[in-house]
């Protein structure tokens, strides 16, 4: 297993590496989804860390002059990951964009382990486990591995799977059926998923949006390690 990378800045680099595919110039190409048919990457990624550092990446088709103008503003950022970027309006204006995402990024720590029994979802058991709410998982199961579920009444009620997969890190995708929320099941499958990811030699990462209170609550209850926040413009 790989040694845990010691800095938030390096965790943020792993985060953007997992989110998007890159070319040789470290320009973004596509959303790094493990299944076929990936969408184009965001045009701009800004990651700000709890250490007060920042990294930025641009999609391959953003003109070099525009990249230079935006990099000048990134260098002048007030790196407070809890707030909007200092040059938030300028980034949107320069890219002539309106759509953006913003939210916290976490590392799932090695000491987090499930206290309830979880199961690995595979091609062999997905049809049975996915009935009653997770039927869509059948089409993803060959790609979104590892996939861990908590089972109640003979079916999966909470699932965590790898939805972004890079050589050094995986990003979590988490879903819990509505009637089973509030029982701590989400934190359990995140713990089980993270353990399975670490067995592959990769680091388990978890990110969400500031508006997603339920997802942030899972991160808080599971004592995930906050290392910063991302800001992306599409």
pLDDT of residue 6: 76
CA-wise closest residue to 221 among 173, 170, 175, 185? 185
pLDDT of res. 4? 58
57 three-state secondary structure: strand
What are the tokens at 112? 């987090």
Phi, psi at 17, each rounded to 5°: -65, -35
Residue 1 pLDDT: 45
pLDDT digits (tens, 9 = 90+) for 2-52: 555 679 999 999 999 999 999 999 999 999 999 999 999 999 999 999 999
- Say how far apart CA 111 and CA 186 lie, in whole Å: 17
For the record, the structure tokens of 50 come out as 């709890």
Cα 13 from chain centroid (whole Å): 12
Give this prediction's pTM. Answer: 0.94
The pLDDT assigned to 5 comes to: 64
Phi-psi region of 196 (alpha: psi -120 to 50; beta: other; left: phi over 0): alpha
Q: Helix axis angle, 64-75 relative to 88-95, nearest 10°? A: 180
pLDDT digits (tens, 9 = 90+) for 96-113: 999 999 999 999 999 999
* pLDDT lower than 70: segments of the chain: 1-5
């Amino acid at each position: 297993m790989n040694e845990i990378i010691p800095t938030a800045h390096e965790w943020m680099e792993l985060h953007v590496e997992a989110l998007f595919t890159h070319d040789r110039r470290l320009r973004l190409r596509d959303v790094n989804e493990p299944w076929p048919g990936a969408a184009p990457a965001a045009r701009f990624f800004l990651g700000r860390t709890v250490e007060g550092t920042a990294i930025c990446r641009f999609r391959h088709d953003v003109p070099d002059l525009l990249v230079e103008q935006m990099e000048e503003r990134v260098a002048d950022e007030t790196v407070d990951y809890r707030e909007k970027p200092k040059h938030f309006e300028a980034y949107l204006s320069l890219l002539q964009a309106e759509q953006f995402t913003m939210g916290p990024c976490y590392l799932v720590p090695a000491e987090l382990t499930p206290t309830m029994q979880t199961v690995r979802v595979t091609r062999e058991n997905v049809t049975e486990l996915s009935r009653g709410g997770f039927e869509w998982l059948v089409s993803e199961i060959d790609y979104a591995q590892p996939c861990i579920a908590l089972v109640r009444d003979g079916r999966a009620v909470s699932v965590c799977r790898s939805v972004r997969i890079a050589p050094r890190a995986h990003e979590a995708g988490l879903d819990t059926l509505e009637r089973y929320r509030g029982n701590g099941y989400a934190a359990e499958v995140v713990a089980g998923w993270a353990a399975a990811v670490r067995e592959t030699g990769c680091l388990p990462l978890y990110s969400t949006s500031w508006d997603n209170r339920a997802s942030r609550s899972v991160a808080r209850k599971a004592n995930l390690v906050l290392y910063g926040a991302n800001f992306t413009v599409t």
